[in-house]
Amino acid sequence: MLRESPIRRTSLVDEIGARLQEDILAGKYRPGEALPPERELSERYGVTRTSLKHALVRLEELGLIETRHGVGSIVLDVEQSGGADLLKYLAPSAEGSRDGSFFSEILEAKTAVCASFVELAAERRTEKELSQAESLLVELSEKIDDAREVQRIEHAFVKVLARAAHNRAFVLLTNSVGAAYSFYWGKYQSVFEDGEWVEENLRAILEAIRKKDAPRARELTQKYFRENDRRVLDVLGYGRKAK
C-alpha cells in the first residue's frame, strides 16, 4: 500500500505550543525575561494549567525556555541554546513570512552535512551498504519518469549513505535537517522530473564511494547538491534573492 502523508491533526497542546513558540521567536517575550506564570498563561489561552504545561515541556525540550521550580519559565536565547530540532518548526513560519533565505540556509547546511558524511562513507562503507545503494539506483532507473518516486528514492539513497558513514551523530543531524525541509517536500517535486540527471549524479557518487575515493565523493556530492539546491530555490521562487 502506498503510504500517503497522513492528515496531521493538531492537538490543543500543539496549538498552544506553536502560539507560544511564535511569540517567543517573534520577540514578544525576550531572552532572559520570564514567561507569565503558568496559571496566568493557562487562563489567557483558555486551557487548563495541565495542558499548558505539556506545551511548556515541549518548548523546554527544544531549548526555547528553561523552567525552574519556584521561579518560572525563563526565555532563552535561541541562537545560544536552540537545538537543531527547532528547524522543523522554523520552516513553516519562515514560509509564512516569505523568508526564502531561511530555506536556502537549510539547503546549504544539508549540502554541507551530506558532503561530509559521504566523504566518510567512502572510507567506511561495507559491501552491504554498497549493494543497498545500488539497488536503489536500479529502482530509480525503473521509475525515472515519476518525479515523486525519484524524489523519494533520492532521499532514501542519501539516508543509506548517511548510515554508511558509521557515525550515529551524522545520522541524527541528517534527520534533523531532513525534517526541516520535509515541510517543503511536495513543493519542489518538479526538480525531480529530470530523473536522468539525478541518476547520473547519484551513480557517479556511488562509483567514487565504491572506489573509496573520498575526496572525489565529497566533491561530486557537493556539486550535485549545490546545483540541486539552486534548482529547488528557483522552483520555489526564491531563486535570485537567496544568497
Partner DNA sequence: TTGGTATAGTGGCTGAGCCACTGGGCCTTT
Partner DNA sequence: AAAGGCCCAGTGGCTCAGCCACTATACCAA
Site residues, DNA (CB under 7 A): 9, 11-13, 34-35, 37-39, 46-51, 53-54, 67-73
Tell me the C-alpha distance between 117 and 27, whole Å. Answer: 36
Q: Which is nearer to DNA, 53 or 110 (CB)?
A: 53
Which residue type occupies 169?
A
Write down the least CB distance from residue 11 to DNA, Å: 4
Place of cell 531532513: 178
User: Which of 86, 122, 133, 191 is in the footprint of a copy of itself by CB under 8 A?
Assistant: 86
Tell me the C-alpha distance between 219 and 119, whole Å. Answer: 9
Tell me the C-alpha distance between 236 and 233, whole Å. Answer: 5
40 CB neighbour count, 10 Å cutoff: 12
**Cell of residue 13, nine digits:** 497542546
Do the beta carbons of residue 177 and residue 106 sit within 8 Å?
Answer: yes
Tell me the C-alpha distance between 175 and 83, whole Å. Answer: 13
Q: Does 93 bind a copy of itself (CB under 8 A)?
A: no
Say how many residues touch a copy of itself, by CB under 8 A: 50
79 binds, among a copy of itself, DNA, none (CB under 5 to 8 A by kind): a copy of itself
Q: Which is nearer to DNA, 57 or 179 (CB)?
A: 57
Write down the least CB distance from residue 122 to a copy of itself, Å: 14
Tell me the C-alpha distance between 104 and 96, whole Å. Answer: 15
Do the beta carbons of residue 161 and residue 121 sit within 8 Å?
Answer: yes
Q: Taking CB under 8 A as the criterion, which residues in 172-211 touch a copy of itself?
A: 172-173, 175-177, 179-180
Q: Does 116 bind a copy of itself (CB under 8 A)?
A: yes
DSSP 190: G
Write down the least CB distance from residue 209 to a copy of itself, Å: 17
Residues that bind a copy of itself (CB under 8 A): 9, 11, 13, 50, 53-54, 57-58, 61-63, 69, 79-87, 90, 102, 105-106, 108-110, 112-113, 115-117, 120, 124, 163, 166-173, 175-177, 179-180, 243
